[in-house]
Amino acid sequence: MSQLSEAQAEQYWKRNRSLMIRLMIIWFVVSFGCGILWVDTLNLIQIGGYKLGFWFAQQGSIFIFIGLIFYYVVAMARLDREFGVEED
């Protein structure tokens, strides 16, 4: 185990988990939400040749997934530093 006390480890995990939950909500909203559940409503909006719901389902959700992962990478690197648990 690293130099973290049990309470610090608990705190680190809690912060990580709340970050994950926030990002997974966005993940859910852009794919299952915008791409599937609310697709008909969003399709009323047209951007260029794309109906918006269709765009989320076939393009937009994928771009946002990439953004979510890299945001997580950066935010976790910051959290690791804050708790002094980054590797070497």
In one-letter notation, the amino acid at residue 11 is: Q
Instruction: Report, in Å, the least distance between residue 81 CB and other proteins.
Output: 11
Which residues of the chain form contacts with other proteins (CB under 8 A)?
A: 1-4, 6, 9, 12-13, 16, 20, 23-24, 27, 31-32, 35-37, 39-40, 43, 47-51, 54-55, 57-59, 61-63, 65-66, 68-70, 72-73, 76-77, 80, 84-87
Name the region of 40 (left: φ>0; alpha: ψ -120 to 50; beta: rest).
Answer: alpha
**Shortest gap between Cβ of 23 and other proteins (angstroms)?**
7
Asked if 52 and 35 touch (Cβ cutoff 8 Å), the reply is no
E strand or H helix at 46:
strand 46-47
